[in-house]
Structure 1
Amino acid sequence: MSLRSSLRAPLTSAVAAALVGGLLACVPTAAGATDAPDRHPTSTSSTDAKAAMVAREQRRAKADGLTRSRAVFARSSYLCIGYKACADAGMGSAGYASANDKMYWRMYAGHNCTNYAAYRMVKSGLPNQRPWSGGGNATYWGTSVPDLTNRTPAVGAVAWWKANTGPAGSAGHVAYVERVVSSEEIVISQDSWGGDFSWAVVTKASGNWPSGFVHFNDLKLVNKAAPVVSGIAKVGAKLTATKGTWNPTDAKVTYQWLANGAVITGATKSSLALDQTRLGKTIRVRTTATKLGYPTKTAVSAATPAVLPGVITSTRAPALSGTAKVEKTLSLDEGAWNVAPDSTTVQWYADGQPIAGAVGATLKLTPELAGRVITVTVTAARAGYDPITVTTAATAPVALGTIRTQRQPAVSGVTRPGQTLTVDPGAYHPADSVVAIQWLRDGQPVLNATGPTYQLTALDLGGRISSSITISRAGYQTTTLTTPTTTRVRVTPRIKIERFRLKHAVRLKITVSAALVPSLDGSIVVRVQGGFHQTLTLHHGVARVRVSDLPKGKRALRVVYYGSTTVERATKLSALRMP
């Protein structure tokens, strides 16, 4: 349903009859000039007195050559006619129905557009004294107070028609603006000389639009309570504002945030996120209320305290990954924050002491860090925020490093007493590792044998020689390697063959001797060409054998000593002549 339909009251047959003429008249002020008689009676209880007053006013108006104004609206414009009908429809006269016998602003009392409009101005708070000098006819209202007159409708303003403009007659017309529907449609209440009180809808399209609007004392937008800002005034926080309390309550309210009294560009919502540019500034919000037909009104909140620095919070703690061992590398995950920092600063620590130069995302664990626990601090900074420093959990103590063998150690040389053995200690990482050598005989350390060479002695006879290589370095776990053992240390034997001729045989005496070995034991094998083969056992280095049953002549002789733990194997080749 349109506004006009919802406001229009059902017209009675009496109202309809009044509309047939379609005329509303507006009479001028008494005498039609600045000397209009303030002495006119302000009230009467006598019908005769009223009639006499009206007759007298009409005579004076005629004598002054003034004509009654006629305001003619289309029948469809009226919402109600008559004090009672309008009151029943909820469109009252603001009390004028019972007070129209009094003159306001020296206008003639009764049904009179100027007296009704003056009454509404006095009712709104203005004194009962015409606010200009000169004629009071309706046509003069706008021209007499040009500073108060414009083309903008407003609730509480006086709608003013010049003489012979739109619906007005020769004296002009005035009405009270009850409602502003849009910039092209208003609702007015009015009274008329010789007519009746009414409410009507006026549109620009109707051709009855007022010549102007006189703003004597319009209804105002009133701020009942200033806007209130809530929230913590610190960088990174959000402030929220109420719009305040306004009358009328359906006014449209907009927001504008201020920092130190200056407008914050683009900050026109009910909330404001505080960034670093607001640090140290006080914040207010200004709300502006607007409603069609009302002058714009603003209200400003109390100022917040100066905006404090924001707080950066660690939402995921920084953490270390990797193996806490010398030569290994630890890596840092800086974690996460409630706001993105402008920068982060990293510092690595060993047992709580800063490690010089260790400010990156990774740290290679040097030998000096062995046995110490590692932590890292991450300091996050952002403009407008207090910096925050967060520390990782500590690692386990850094484990010793492992020395790596790049070339295995080995012993070289001849394993005979008096000969010198040499050890190649090998190669290792770190290259500056310290190498210590200990010579071993049958796995046991040889007293005072610690150099890179070792001269074999009689004590070594029958033994196997090796070297124990100990590799050490600060920050690394000491490593010990053992070279492969040598062959047994032995001396070279000497085989002596003595021959004793018999009638049909030869007796052999075989002596096996060796330096450093006073008495040899073991076995020898005697082979004589022609099929003689016999194994003998040495007794104190001597063995005897009788060779017989061979044809006469020269035969090859071969004596083999199998050796012992201290004496090398040996073979002696010779000849034997059989008798």
Structure 2
Amino acid sequence: MSLRTRLLAPLTSALVGALVVGLLALAPAPSYAGKSGALPQAAQAHHRGPDAVFKRSSYLCYGYADCRAKGMGNAGYAQNNDKMYWRMYSGHNCTNYAAYRMVRSGLPNTRPWSGGGNAEYWGTSMARITDDVPRVGAVAWWKANAGPAGSVGHVAYVEQVVSADEVIVSQDSWHGDFSWAVVTRASGNWPSGFIHFNDRTLTNQDPPVIDGIAKVGSVLSSTAGTWKPVDATVTYQWFGNGQKIAGATAPTLRLTRARLGQTVTVTTTASKLGFPARQVTSAPTAAVLPGELKNTSAPVLSGEPKIDQTLTLDTGTWTPAPDTLTIQWLANGQPIEGVTGGPTLTLTPDLVGATISANVTATRAGYDPVSAATAPTAPVALGTFTVTAEPRLLGLPEMGQALTVDTGAYRPTADTVAVQWLRNGVPIDGATGTTYQLVNLDLGTRISARVTVTRAGYTDLTVDSPSTGRIKTNPLIRVQTERLRHKVKVTVRVTAPGLDVVDGPVVVRLAGVAQAATLRNGVATVVLKDLPPGTRTMTIRYGGSDTVNRLVVTRQVKVL
């Protein structure tokens, strides 16, 4: 169980009463300075300072027995507290206990400064080793009247550093008892400083050991070494011939050619909150030997083997990384003339039908060149056009007019573009080029243009434009009237350029009376009856046909 989980509930008022006897101990009075430090009992009582109480801290245990039962020891002070250490008063005394822990850590039983031994003097007398950094094994020091301390200050032994703002200390107290307590910076009881007489250090029991073959391209690995405490955090730094290798801070090291001929070591640094870091270095390897250059995955081509497409070469993977990679492109196994050794190849018409491959040669200083080839592609196919804009016809689809074809757009650009005009989907003899003059043979038919594009290395592409509507001619209407009483006889003659005879329906309307007729040999006659007298507008509407456009004309007619 961790110390933090052993926090005691707040003490009862009776126990607090027992604690307020104080946690401080006095050094010898000034008149005794330089002697043994022992004072008469009356002097001890007379010079005892105010009590110190951690009113806002949590005690983990109180008294030798309670602390021992909770696994919180006193490092043998219970059996030795009748002795004086650093000339401090024996027994329950914060300064004697702290001095005892320093002597037990290996320091001589001689106070390391001259002058008074009261707790208030410890940090000021040893200012050169006092700071605000908590360390395990350091002495926590409170100035006079600082936090829980009374007028002569207080000292304790740092057992554990929980964080930069929390420590666990063991301590003894004048006319009080031995205890462990948690002290936080937020509690207001934070020490005035930490005195680093002889902090506990991390102990290396076994140095790091390097494993692996010292050979360029291989990977060395290292153990962390064995440390106490065992939960120390360990970092790594590799060295070549005693020089730090930049960035080499992992448990493993890949040996590059820069290490060739060097001996390699690793230094591990152990750190733990509350302890100063410590380093230890491994034994050196033998001198690093040359390595072997290997192709670990073969080069691969990607892309479509088709004219004007681009093949891309993945040069594969190599270990270690080569200094240079040289590429040779091949067609049917033979070098392609004029092609540089780049990682891409655009397929040209001269490569149609050939299989393409690439050979990659890796070189590295101190290594033999190694080559690896890709698998060949399928034979290079002819390219195909992509239509980016369809052909379309421009112009009026009437006899005598000229039609023009916009041949469209293609990717890639065609070398040649040819046009063939079509009548009802059938090629018109001699009708080529981008313009076509409509003739009487086109009347009633639909005209379109067929565009054929060609390019070296490509399959020819033929695209038809949309067809026109039916080609028609414009009619000419002549009207002859014969006026009778309350009726009119109307003769309509329709002619059109390009046609010998025009047919189709005719409707004649006058004064609200309409009469329909069908042209016969281009002529239609109607009689409009029951017409009111007067001058009226007559409308003649020709409905058109497959070859002739519709037309409407008007005439003024006087009805008798």
TM-score for the superposition, normalised by structure 1: 0.52
70, 73, 76: which one aligns with 1:92 = 73
Q: Is the 8 A contact 1:235 1:275 kept in 2?
A: yes
- Paired amino acid for 1:172: G
After TM superposition, give the deviation of residue 110 of structure 1 in Å: 0.7
- CA–CA separation in structure 2 for the residues paired with 1:24 and 1:260: 59
After TM superposition, give the deviation of residue 127 of structure 1 in Å: 1.4
- CA–CA separation in structure 1 for the residues paired with 2:105 and 2:283: 31
Is the alpha carbon distance of 1:300 and 1:21 closer, same or farther for their aligned partners in structure 2, counting shifts above 3 Å? Answer: closer
* 2:364 is aligned with 1:382: yes
- CA–CA separation in structure 1 for the residues paired with 2:176 and 2:318: 78
Residues matched between the structures, number: 338
* 2:43 is aligned with 1:59: yes
Q: Secondary structure at the match of 1:24?
A: coil
* 2:125 is aligned with 1:162: no
After TM superposition, give the deviation of residue 272 of structure 1 in Å: 1.2
Q: Deviations over 1:339-371 (max 9, x none)?
A: 454357899xxxxxxxxxxxx99xxxxxxxxxx
- CA–CA separation in structure 2 for the residues paired with 1:255 and 1:58: 59
* 2:217 is aligned with 1:236: yes
Q: Secondary structure at the match of 2:279?
A: strand
* 2:26 is aligned with 1:28: yes
More moved, 216-225 vs 184-193: 216-225
Q: Secondary structure at the match of 2:26?
A: coil
- CA–CA separation in structure 1 for the residues paired with 2:70 and 2:184: 21
The aligned counterpart of 1:273 is 254
Q: Secondary structure at the match of 2:283?
A: coil
After TM superposition, give the deviation of residue 259 of structure 1 in Å: 2.1
* 2:189 is aligned with 1:208: yes
Is the alpha carbon distance of 1:155 and 1:97 closer, same or farther for their aligned partners in structure 2, counting shifts above 3 Å? Answer: same
RMSD: 3.8
The aligned counterpart of 1:330 is none
Q: Is the 8 A contact 1:34 1:135 kept in 2?
A: no
Q: Is the 8 A contact 1:24 1:195 kept in 2?
A: yes
Q: Is the 8 A contact 1:9 1:86 kept in 2?
A: no
Q: Secondary structure at the match of 1:27?
A: coil
Q: Secondary structure at the match of 2:29?
A: helix
After TM superposition, give the deviation of residue 199 of structure 1 in Å: 0.8
Pairs within 5 Å for 1:331-480: 338-339=319-320, 341-343=322-324, 380-383=362-365, 385-387=366-368
- CA–CA separation in structure 1 for the residues paired with 2:62 and 2:360: 82
Is the alpha carbon distance of 1:137 and 1:313 closer, same or farther for their aligned partners in structure 2, counting shifts above 3 Å? Answer: same
Larger radius of gyration between Structure 1 and Structure 2: 1
The aligned counterpart of 1:121 is 102
- CA–CA separation in structure 2 for the residues paired with 1:217 and 1:192: 22
More moved, 118-127 vs 270-279: 270-279
The aligned counterpart of 2:117 is 136
The aligned counterpart of 1:38 is 36
- CA–CA separation in structure 2 for the residues paired with 1:306 and 1:34: 66
Q: Structure 2 regions of 5+ residues with no counterpart?
A: 300-314, 329-339, 342-358, 374-560
Q: Secondary structure at the match of 1:30?
A: coil
The aligned counterpart of 1:506 is none
- CA–CA separation in structure 1 for the residues paired with 2:71 and 2:8: 9
* 2:183 is aligned with 1:183: no
Q: Deviations over 1:438-482 (max 9, x none)?
A: xxxxxxxxxxxxxxxxxxxxxxxxxxxxxxxxxxxxxxxxxxxxx
- CA–CA separation in structure 1 for the residues paired with 2:318 and 2:296: 5
Q: Is the 8 A contact 1:202 1:209 kept in 2?
A: yes
- CA–CA separation in structure 1 for the residues paired with 2:172 and 2:52: 10
- CA–CA separation in structure 2 for the residues paired with 1:316 and 1:159: 62
- CA–CA separation in structure 2 for the residues paired with 1:155 and 1:172: 21
Q: Is the 8 A contact 2:28 2:116 kept in 1?
A: no
* 2:131 is aligned with 1:153: no
- CA–CA separation in structure 1 for the residues paired with 2:48 and 2:372: 96
After TM superposition, give the deviation of residue 33 of structure 1 in Å: 6.1
Is the alpha carbon distance of 1:271 and 1:86 closer, same or farther for their aligned partners in structure 2, counting shifts above 3 Å? Answer: same
After TM superposition, give the deviation of residue 249 of structure 1 in Å: 0.9
Q: Is the 8 A contact 1:381 1:387 kept in 2?
A: yes
- Paired amino acid for 1:138: A
Q: Secondary structure at the match of 2:15?
A: helix
- CA–CA separation in structure 2 for the residues paired with 1:311 and 1:338: 8
Q: Is the 8 A contact 2:18 2:176 kept in 1?
A: no
- CA–CA separation in structure 2 for the residues paired with 1:248 and 1:90: 17
Is the alpha carbon distance of 1:196 and 1:75 closer, same or farther for their aligned partners in structure 2, counting shifts above 3 Å? Answer: farther
Is the alpha carbon distance of 1:20 and 1:302 closer, same or farther for their aligned partners in structure 2, counting shifts above 3 Å? Answer: same
- Paired amino acid for 2:95: T
- CA–CA separation in structure 1 for the residues paired with 2:62 and 2:316: 78
Q: Secondary structure at the match of 2:101?
A: helix
Q: Is the 8 A contact 1:113 1:191 kept in 2?
A: yes
After TM superposition, give the deviation of residue 35 of structure 1 in Å: 2.4
Q: Deviations over 1:308-353 (max 9, x none)?
A: 22112466999xxxxxxxxxxxxxxx99865454357899xxxxxx
* 2:273 is aligned with 1:307: no
- Paired amino acid for 1:8: L
After TM superposition, give the deviation of residue 150 of structure 1 in Å: 1.1
After TM superposition, give the deviation of residue 191 of structure 1 in Å: 0.6
* 2:200 is aligned with 1:219: yes
Q: Secondary structure at the match of 2:123?
A: helix
Q: Is the 8 A contact 2:8 2:58 kept in 1?
A: no
- CA–CA separation in structure 2 for the residues paired with 1:8 and 1:270: 39
Is the alpha carbon distance of 1:262 and 1:69 closer, same or farther for their aligned partners in structure 2, counting shifts above 3 Å? Answer: farther
Q: Is the 8 A contact 2:25 2:96 kept in 1?
A: no
After TM superposition, give the deviation of residue 37 of structure 1 in Å: 4.1
- CA–CA separation in structure 2 for the residues paired with 1:82 and 1:314: 72
Q: Deviations over 1:205-258 (max 9, x none)?
A: 011110111111111011222111111122211111111111111111111122
Q: Is the 8 A contact 2:295 2:372 kept in 1?
A: no
TM-score for the superposition, normalised by structure 2: 0.54
Q: Secondary structure at the match of 1:70?
A: coil
